[in-house]
Amino acid sequence: MDALVEAVRPVDGTQDAEAGRDAIKAALSELLEQHPDANLLDLSEEQRLFAIERYISRDVFNRIVLDIGKSIQDNAPSASAGLSRLKEISDYVRETVAGRFRSLRKAGEQLDARRVSQLVNQALQEAFSVFEDYVA
């Protein structure tokens, strides 16, 4: 799995790259938990969509943490409340992205790079809007 992550998102020393690497690794780990027999080099369509969904969820959450994570923690009444807020955001993003994927599958839409980009941007905007009080 590490070799696959390295091939997809090599280390370049930036926070964005590390966040992306984390998202890929987390998505593949969840995929292997859900489908222990999965061949990472030959995924079924169901497995591929699962991995993409989980990657998007984690990537969006990581971007939020990079952008406003420190403010969320600084504005929380305690350290545990700050961590709880981050968990709440993570859960929200995961459910939002999963819901979008269910809608796409139900509508029979294909998932391409443009659609993935739209999903990411919509999830980011919604999360920022829903949790803006955590930053103030």
For residues 62-86, average pLDDT: 96
pTM of structure = 0.89
> What pLDDT score was predicted for residue 136?
79
pLDDT, tens digit, 9 for 90 and up, residues 103-124: 988 998 888 888 888 988 999 9
Among candidates 25, 96, 107, 30, which has minimal Cα distance to 57? 96
| Cβ pair 72, 135 in contact under 8 A | yes
Angle between helices 113-130 and 45-64 (to 10 degrees): 40
| Cβ pair 43, 51 in contact under 8 A | yes
Please give the C-alpha separations between residue 67 and each of 1, 89, 98, in angstroms, as whole numbers: 28, 13, 22
Query: From the centroid of its chain, how far is CA 15?
Result: 15
**Integer Cα distance of 135 and 47 in angstroms:** 36
